[in-house]
Structure 1
Amino acid sequence: MKRAFIAFLLTVMSVVTVSAQTTEISDVVLQNSVQEDGTQLQLNGAGVRSKYFLSLYVGSLYLPGKSSDANKILYSSDMKMIQLDIISSLITAEKMEETVRAGFKNSLGGDTSSLQSEIDSFIAVFGEEIEVGDIFKFVTSGQELKAYKNGKLLTTVTGAEFQRALFGIWLGNKPADKKLKNLMLGAKS
């Protein structure tokens, strides 16, 4: 009886420990803390990107320390990461490219000409078909942005202005989804 009780307690403690290290949103399990290029990043906030009542992906923002100030995050040279976990089969490479190009246009106030070559280089990240379960990570140190798909480095783009424009798609004045922006900035759903 005593062994059964101890086994039960150990099981409960391990479940509590695991759940304290992760956050689950729309069946996507996010780590509350990740290591990127030697820097410890904390989950700042996350939510579901929806359009026309359809859930498309879980977007999450990781920072060295919590912040709800979008401008401070955009202009900071600290390491940061946006992660997109694809949860809908409606997302295709073509739709993602179209959406991200529109996001850059919104992020840059309608004029993408100053970053067009960087944008074109970055868009190659969405060149292969996209499937449910794919994970995109955009990691930046403020000067250099690395884009990954399912852990594989696909491209590196330099320049602080490009990094701000990319993160501005989700955190800028005209974000892809205002509710998602607020959730990524730490608001409670």
Structure 2
Amino acid sequence: MVSQRMGVVMRKFLVFAFLFLFASPAGAGTLEGVTMPDTMQVGGKSLVLNGMGLRKKFVVKVYVAGLYLPSKMNSSEKILAADTERGLDMHFLYDVEKAKMCKAWYDGLKNNSPAQEAALKAQFDTLCSYMSDMAEGDKMTFTYVPGQGTTVSVRGKVKGTIAGKEFADAMFACWIGPNPPGAEFKQGLLGG
């Protein structure tokens, strides 16, 4: 009788331990040694960490990104359609030259928002003017506030703000649009 009861207790304990050990945290996350906080303050609102993705180029781990939204969403179409605050943090794991970053922005625009490529070229030129050579450990942050625009910060210093939801949508589409840097990367940002 006692051994039977111990067996039931032990099974319940093992199930609980398994669930506890392998459950993913609801908010904050760590990926490739980069830990992102549960929340980000944007435009006076608290955004939640939606998901994290690892950007790889062939076998090179380039950066870890974290997408912040007012509430968790797994649809890129709904995220881009909503005119609400958004944020994205990029933590670099590898040195990237400014010219390569700019090429990636222009490619992202062309591949994800081709109908707006000509109309948004000037804004993407401005975005590229904010870029710098990035080194391992550097951080870049993008925040969008409706009616104000997208603010770009490099290494903790605000470089400027680019007006317009159209620009914000095209820029965020570079990460979560139909042709992102990688399917796993996009899926990570969308929380999956």
**Normalising to structure 1: TM-score of the pair?**
0.83
2:46 is matched with 40
Partner SS state of residue 114, structure 2: coil
* Alpha-carbon distance in 2 for matches of 1:111, 1:145: 17
1:134 is matched with 138
Gaps of 5+ in 2: 1-24
Among all aligned residue pairs of Structure 1 and Structure 2, give the percentage whose two residues are the same amino acid: 27
1:50-69 pair list within 5 angstroms: 50-69=56-75
Please list the CA deviations of residues 49-90 of structure 1 after superposition, one character each: whole Å capped at 9, or x if unmatched.
01112110001100110000111101111101111111112x
1:157 is matched with 162
Contact 1:138 1:145 in 2 (8 A): yes
Partner SS state of residue 187, structure 2: helix
Gaps of 5+ in 1: 1-18
1:169 to 169, 174, 177: 174
Higher-Rg structure is 2
Please list the CA deviations of residues 70-112 of structure 1 after superposition, one character each: whole Å capped at 9, or x if unmatched.
11101111101111111112x2111111111111111212761
Does 1:114 find its partner at 2:127? no
2:87 is matched with 81
Please list the CA deviations of residues 120-140 of structure 1 after superposition, one character each: whole Å capped at 9, or x if unmatched.
1111121x3211111111100
Contact 1:76 1:142 in 2 (8 A): no
Give the CA RMSD over aligned residues: 1.7
Partner SS state of residue 112, structure 1: helix
Contact 1:107 1:166 in 2 (8 A): no
